[in-house]
Amino acid sequence: MVIFPRLLPLSAVWALAAVIFAAISIPAAAQQGPMPVTVAKPLIKKITEWDEYTGRFEATNRVEIRARVSGFLESIHFKDGDLVNKGDLLFVIDPRPFEAQLDVAKASLEAAKTRVNLAEREFKRAESLLKRNNISRETFDQRQAELATAQSTVLSAQAQIRIAKLNLEFTQVKAPISGRVSDARVDVGNLVEGGSAQSTLLSTLVSIDPILFTFSASEAEFLKYSRLDATGRRDSSRSAANPVFVRLMDEDSFTREGRMSFVDNELSPNTGTIRAQAVFENSSGFLVPGVFGRLRLIGSDEYEAVLIPDSAVVSDQSKKMVLIVDADGNVKAAPVDMGPLHEGLRVIHGGLGRDDRIVVKGIQRARPGGKVMAKEADLLPDGTIMVRTGS
């Protein structure tokens, strides 16, 4: 409340009131004027899009170490979790019963050879007598059959020796591949079963280098890749080792490079996805089967893209828009078709021209249909917004 002095003339009072009200109304008028914002044209750059997937690493080979013969476990020749080479001794099953079986097979072979020698002498004698007609043809045929039977017995005995040698060899369980072995699932002194589907699991062994990365792509992405291949714009990963990059969950950048190695032959009817794999070098053994990661796969051919800061995009329910400022400072909203992020900038597939000036800073001060005071800036390839001097 303003109190006017009673001694002032009435004209002076009205003049003072006019000054006061004018001072009050100046800030309100200023607030209704154009607000300053920073505008820039989109960055036009040739890029290749990359699609991202979540997946996990898997061993190229995983072997369950099982007994092939039954017996008591005699010794273990590795430490749990060791790196082993192909052919290294892992377990020994008591070999003594199989050594005895081999001795029996060898004795059977010697007996069979003795019978062959006897049968050969009998046959030669019968052959000589037959020439002089001193024995019947029937007796000669019998001697000939006895010789053939004895010779077959030798072959059978030799096969039994090979089987006995194999069983004796199977008492030494060796690593079928190089890799990292798990822990021993059976302690020394226990009876293990072998040679059947229910054979005792002794341990597991996984290969380390190289290592696979398995992920799934949606049906829409699969169709996109198929059409790119059909038009010659990007080779299918079935026929070409397309490059991929992976980062682990605690990494910020995609620094681990690999190559596509497999795409499945059908889509899952339950999930509508198709399984794919990429292979990575892992000589250090740092990557372990089961570890999750994020993979980038080349998703397009090289093309000229329109790029803007992701912060310049505003949302109106389900629509994505940018604010465009014309030469007179008028603001309008333009719906855009958004693509993926590329080096920190958002790819715009449609709805924005290369000469459009979009609001990149002060977007909260701009409203569609209003006016702003635009400061010109340039959008640099690294996403930096550089305000022009004097603007």
Over residues 120-135, the mean pLDDT reads 83
CATH of domain 95-170: 1.10.287.470
Q: Has residue 21 got a pLDDT over 50?
A: no
Query: Which architecture does CATH list for 35-47+303-387?
Result: Beta Barrel (2.40)
pTM of the model: 0.71
pLDDT value for 9 = 52
pLDDT > 60? residue 147: yes
Q: Residue with structure tokens 């709805």?
A: 351
What DSSP string describes 238-292? Answer: TTS--EEEEEETT-SS--EEEEEEEE-SS--TTT-EEEEEEEE--TT--S-TT-E
Confidence class for position 98, pLDDT limits 50, 70, 90: very high
pLDDT of 390 reads 63
User: Which secondary structure element, helix H or strand E, spans residue 316, and what is its range?
Assistant: strand 314-316
Say which amino acid occupies 308.
I
> If you average pLDDT over every residue of the chain, what do you get?
88
Identify the band that residue 244 occupies on the pLDDT scale cut at 50, 70 and 90. Answer: very high
The predicted pLDDT at position 4 comes to 43
Amino acid 10: pLDDT: 44
Q: How confident is the model at residue 18 (pLDDT cuts 50, 70, 90)?
A: very low
Grade residue 341 by pLDDT with cuts at 50, 70 and 90: confident
Q: Decide if pLDDT at 257 tops 70.
A: yes
Q: Name the residue among 224, 222, 228 with its Cα closest to residue 266.
A: 222
Categorise residue 65: left if φ over 0, alpha if ψ from -120 to 50, beta otherwise. Answer: beta
Q: 281-309 pLDDT, tens per residue?
A: 999 999 999 999 999 998 888 888 999 99
Instruction: Give me the DSSP letters along 11-62.
Output: HHHHHHHHHHHHHHHHHHHHHTSPEEEEEEPPEEEEE--EEEEEEEEEES-E
Share of the chain above pLDDT 90, in %: 63
Percent of the chain at pLDDT > 70 equals 91
Contact status, residue 235 vs residue 226, Cβ threshold 8 Å: no
Cα dihedral 22→28→29→31 (10° resolution): 150
Amino acid at 77: H
Q: Is the pLDDT of residue 216 over 50?
A: yes
Delimit the domains of the chain by residue range. 35-47+303-387, 51-60+210-298, 95-170
Question: Which of the two residues, 29 and 155, has the higher pLDDT score?
Answer: 155
Instruction: Please say if the pLDDT value at position 136 is more than 90.
Output: no
Instruction: Check whether the bond before 5 is cis (ω within 30° of 0).
Output: no
Closest listed residue to residue 336, CA positions, set 322, 323, 315, 326: 322
Residue with tokens 């596509």, as numbered in its chain: 260
Residues 378-390 pLDDT 10s: 888 888 888 887 6
How sure is the predictor about 318, in pLDDT bands with cuts at 50, 70 and 90? confident
Query: Where is average pLDDT lowest: 72-81, 131-140, 199-208?
Result: 131-140
Q: How many CB atoms are located within 10 Å of the residue 127 CB?
A: 13
Mean pLDDT of 140-151: 87
Please check the confidence at residue 197 and state whether its pLDDT lies above 90. Answer: no
Q: What pLDDT does 391 receive?
A: 58
What is the structure's pLDDT at 5?
47
- pLDDT confidence tier of residue 24, bands split at 50, 70 and 90: very low
User: Do 51-60+210-298 and 95-170 come out as alike in CATH topology?
Assistant: no
pLDDT reported for residue 14: 43
> Between residues 24 and 215, which one has the greater pLDDT?
215
- CATH 2.40.30.170 applies to domain 51-60+210-298: yes
Distance of alpha carbon 203 from alpha carbon 194, whole angstroms: 14
